[in-house]
Amino acid sequence: MSKRDYYDVLGVDKQAGGSQIKSAYRKLAMQYHPDRNPGDKAAEEKFKEASEAYEVLSDQKRKEIYDRFGHQGLSGQGYSGPQDTADIFSQFGSIFEDFFGFSGAGGSRARRGADLRYDLEISFKEAVFGVEKEIEYEREVLCAVCDGSGARPGSKPKTCPTCGGAGQVRRNQGFFSVAVTCPTCQGKGSIIEDPCQSCRGSGRGVETKTLSVRIPAGVDNGLKLRVSGEGEGGQTEGASGDLYVVLHVAKSSQFERDGTDVVVRQPISFIQAILGDEIEIETLDGTEKIHVAEGTQPGSRLTMHGKGIPSLRGGGRGDLYVEFQVRIPKKVSPEQRELLEHFADTMGVRHPKKKEPSFFQRIFE
């Protein structure tokens, strides 16, 4: 049976560079890796075919020979490709560590611990200026009694008699030898005859963790803070996962956020709007005096530069906008009505109580 073109196998063209070839092989290797397709002979064939193509095309000298003379040229060089899966693992050990986080030679694999999520509620002002918060949560770690071995203190796990401690056994499938996870020890390489009473042989326990988390100034609702290594503990010397603190910022009754800017709606009387005034308002930094200009219109804004929210990326603070809301009284006293009617007369504004002049008044006027 004739071999497929190596470029077709990896799905790249002849001008592909080393990084493209490696990326294409990585994708195929992850898809057809024997551990992901136990007992699947077709997947094993594709895995072997892709590995053979990569071995040639990733080697500049072999690639040049193949480009000029094809498969026949490589045969003349004494190359026939890896014979079984074990050969592939031995040749590409470092690549499999990069791709999958383990070597293909068997044995227990280091596993990274799971990531955890913690939902933290903070106030609006805490989000603006930052705060240090102490949180408490539970996470899975190595058992403190047996130090993760799973065996009762004073005893040790026994080497698995089936795989001899490799964590994998080889099964012959036609012309190939495929490594699969040992069914006796589930890939651990050892079995526990006298389990730890605390963790019942799992090697895992639960601890309550207290942690101080710094919330930077300027955070917003829904932001995730990653705390490295504070998730669940890894297995077989694997690294711990991370803790993600998800922030939930309480709404403010005074301030409305718009990115790094803040809007505060300030009620004023229609008299203040007309005549102007000096008033006190509440800002993020405390109480401050501002000037209400004469003739201030409803909805107009006063800008206070640098009084907004700090930027997480640096560059100072946003602005604070004071939006004026002119309040109209629902009721007025007789004296106030008289004054308002007089004011309306001076402005030439018609009002309900003002009577239209009679026919004779208009003639004599």
In this structure, the answer to whether residues 121 and 95 fall within a common structural domain is: no
Contacts of 355 (CB under 8 A, 6+ apart): none
In this structure, the answer to whether residues 93 and 123 fall within a common structural domain is: no
Mean pLDDT of 187-194: 85
329-364 pLDDT, tens digit each: 999 898 988 888 888 888 887 767 655 555 555 665
Residue 111 within any structural domain of the chain: no
What counts of helices (H) and strands (E) characterise the chain?
Answer: 10, 15
Residue 181 within any structural domain of the chain: no
- The pTM of this model reads 0.58
Q: Which CATH number does the domain housing residue 295 bear?
A: 2.60.260.20
Number of domains within the chain: 4
Residue bearing tokens 């930077």: 216
Given this model, what pLDDT does residue 318 score?
96
- Helix or strand holding residue 41 (H, E): helix 41-57
Contact in structure between 124 and 250 (CB atoms under 8 Å): yes
Highest mean pLDDT: which of 89-103, 187-201, 267-281? 267-281
Torsion of CA 61, 67, 73, 78, to 10 degrees: 30
308: left (phi over 0), alpha (psi -120 to 50) or beta: beta
Q: Give the pLDDT band (50/70/90) at residue 308.
A: very high
Residue 1 within any structural domain of the chain: no
Q: What is the mean pLDDT of the chain?
A: 84
138-190 pLDDT, tens digit each: 999 988 888 888 889 988 888 889 888 888 888 766 556 677 888 888 887 88
pLDDT above 60: residue 106: no
Given this model, what pLDDT does residue 286 score?
94
In this structure, the answer to whether residues 203 and 283 fall within a common structural domain is: no
Contact in structure between 85 and 44 (CB atoms under 8 Å): yes
CA atoms within 13 A on the CB side of 61: 2
Helix (H, G, I), strand (E, B) or coil at 60: helix
In this structure, the answer to whether residues 26 and 60 fall within a common structural domain is: yes
In this structure, the answer to whether residues 120 and 242 fall within a common structural domain is: yes
In this structure, the answer to whether residues 228 and 295 fall within a common structural domain is: no
47-68 pLDDT, tens digit each: 889 888 898 898 888 888 888 8
In this structure, the answer to whether residues 245 and 120 fall within a common structural domain is: yes
Q: Range of 262's domain?
A: 255-327
The CA distance from 337 to 356, in Å, is: 19
Given this model, what pLDDT does residue 136 score?
96
Residue 173 within any structural domain of the chain: no
In this structure, the answer to whether residues 39 and 126 fall within a common structural domain is: no
Residue 168 within any structural domain of the chain: no
